[in-house]
């Protein structure tokens, strides 16, 4: 069996899923999507008893049928192992009348682990089918969590190099330390003197640089991506939407077929788009609540049909959402335009050339499955404080953005549909911001003080992955301007 993938912009040729995973981004600059989106061929009720690993095997097989069941089973078993602190991998926790889908139990304490523990194995399987036998170079921009999760996943993987660019002043101290202490002879980490959008734009330009790609090929290399522009990164995220729904069914919180909402803290749009794929596949989803921080470009897009990136990027306490160009939104444009690749290409060209685009009324009508709003910094802090004081539940800043927006959704829409909030990172990755929200005084002596004081106040142990950082040496000290990214890559690869 096989499934063909094509570009959202319609120019590149159709390819099978292993080649879509290896290429990361299409030659025409578009993102790969299945030629035909798979649908569930089992009733939701029949999946209730599935473990996370069994469900992942079922869902991922629908997208990537070129891999054998045994290959995928081994890859999934290796990915979702004891490195996750919860056997459910992504448990849904009830707090009062709220539901939190906890996605931070992996090795780097963020939701990116769900896909990036598996993606290296998918790339290895795909490379076995690549007749060129060239060596993958994983080129990735990060707003914080993707970088460490990708580095962790690819470190030591034979035949693969990984290069991560991050905004030097645009990630939390813990996020930065996680990346620059990363071990592995095949890993490179470079700080950008700019923001995430600068890093992401630079990476995309490197992917499209034909002379550079020719030099890579001469040396036996090719670029691939660990960002959610890569379909191999996006598909594993579809699984936890189904798993959360099934968890509610198992616990008799909902009835079979009952629709629920998901509130998702959103930056690059990959996480929430995975939920949209789940809905299109047959998951009973009422609304996908797109939660932004003060960088609220998506709020304006969903409410007036205009995507306008011509604004100054704000640095917030939820840095993984400090993004003005949401790459995965291109896949949504493709779907809501009734898979019109020409319309999608034109909109993306407008964004590139003018910094904005406006949807036609017909395309804008496709946004009906979404609600969007944003949270101010003071709302994020007060939400963390009020939930902790009333329930003892501690959530990170990104999760607090989602909960803040959920409250606005309920007020605006008077909707009593049960809603799952995606909790995307451990609170200890942003302990300084949480201490501030909880009025815990800090002396600013070192970056670990906040973690210890947060643990002391909450009674929650500091995660081992953060505790271990204290003893790790700084291994990556390189930095550059966005204009120097190409030179850095060439030096690392000696081309």
User: 332-359: per-residue pLDDT in tens?
Assistant: 999 999 999 999 999 999 999 999 999 9
| Catalytic status, residue 112 | yes
Q: Which of 13, 45, 94, 112 is catalytic?
A: 112
Alpha carbons 164 and 173: distance in angstroms, whole number: 17
CATH number of 92-107+232-430: 3.40.50.1100
Give phi and psi for 93, each to the nearest 5. Answer: -110, 130
Q: Identify the burial level of 419 via C-beta atoms within 10 angstroms of its C-beta, where 0-12 means exposed, 13-18 middle and 19 or more buried.
A: buried
Region 252-281: mean pLDDT is 97
Q: Which residue has the tokens 């496709």?
A: 366
Do 182 and 152 form a contact (C-beta atoms < 8 A)? yes
Residue whose C-alpha is closest to residue 285's, from 330, 238, 339, 229: 238
pLDDT at position 446, please? 80
Region 466-491: mean pLDDT is 96
Beta strands 285-292; 370-374: pairing state: parallel
pLDDT at position 415, please? 97
Region 322-330: mean pLDDT is 95
User: 73-89: per-residue pLDDT in tens?
Assistant: 999 999 999 999 999 99
Query: 130 is written with which tokens?
Result: 């690549």
Q: pTM for this one?
A: 0.95
């Amino acid at each position: 069996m096989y499934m063909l993938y094509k570009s959202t912009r319609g120019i590149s040729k159709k390819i099978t899923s292993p080649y879509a995973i290896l290429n990361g981004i299409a030659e025409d600059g578009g993102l790969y999507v299945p030629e035909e989106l798979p649908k569930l061929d089992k009733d939701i009720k029949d999946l209730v008893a599935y473990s996370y690993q069994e469900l992942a095997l079922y869902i991922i097989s629908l997208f990537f049928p070129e891999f054998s069941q045994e290959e995928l089973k081994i890859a999934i078993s290796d990915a979702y192992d004891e490195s996750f602190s919860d056997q459910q991998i992504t448990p849904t926790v009830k707090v009062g009348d709220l539901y939190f889908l906890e996605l931070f139990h992996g090795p780097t304490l963020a939701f990116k682990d769900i896909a990036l523990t598996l993606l290296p194995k998918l790339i290895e399987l795909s490379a076995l089918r690549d007749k060129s036998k060239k060596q993958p170079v994983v080129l990735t921009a990060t707003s914080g969590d993707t970088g460490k999760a990708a580095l962790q996943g690819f470190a030591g993987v034979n035949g693969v190099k990984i290069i991560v660019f991050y905004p030097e002043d645009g990630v939390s101290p813990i996020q930065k330390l996680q990346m620059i202490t990363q071990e592995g002879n095949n890993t490179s980490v470079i700080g950008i003197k700019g923001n995430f959008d600068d890093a992401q734009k630079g990476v995309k330009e490197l992917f499209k640089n034909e002379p550079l790609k020719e030099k890579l090929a001469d040396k036996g290399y090719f670029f691939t991506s660990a960002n959610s522009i890569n379909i191999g990164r996006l598909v594993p995220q579809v699984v936890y939407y189904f798993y959360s729904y099934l968890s509610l069914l198992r616990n008799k919180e909902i009835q079979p077929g009952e629709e629920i909402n998901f509130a998702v803290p959103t930056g690059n749009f990959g996480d929430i788009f995975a939920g949209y794929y789940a809905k299109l596949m047959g998951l009973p989803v009422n609304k996908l609540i797109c939660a932004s921080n003060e960088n609220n470009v998506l709020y304006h897009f969903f409410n007036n049909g205009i995507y306008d990136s011509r604004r100054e990027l704000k640095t917030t306490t939820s840095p993984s959402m400090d993004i003005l160009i949401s790459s995965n939104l291109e896949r949504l444009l493709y779907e809501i335009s009734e898979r019109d690749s020409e319309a999608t290409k034109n909109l993306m060209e407008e964004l590139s050339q003018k910094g904005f685009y406006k949807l036609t009324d017909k395309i804008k009508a496709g946004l009906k499955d979404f609600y969007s709003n944003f949270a101010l910094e003071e709302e994020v802090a007060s939400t963390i404080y009020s939930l902790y004081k009333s329930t003892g539940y501690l959530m990170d800043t990104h999760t607090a953005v989602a909960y803040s927006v959920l409250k606005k959704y309920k007020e605006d829409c008077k909707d009593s549909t049960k809603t799952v909030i995606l909790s995307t990172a451990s609170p200890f990755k942003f302990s300084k911001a949480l201490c501030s929200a909880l009025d815990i005084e800090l002396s600013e002596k070192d970056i670990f003080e906040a973690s210890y004081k947060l643990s002391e106040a909450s009674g929650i142990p500091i995660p081992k992955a953060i505790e271990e950082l204290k003893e790790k040496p700084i291994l990556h000290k390189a930095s550059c301007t966005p204009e120097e990214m190409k030179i850095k890559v060439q030096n690392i690869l000696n081309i």
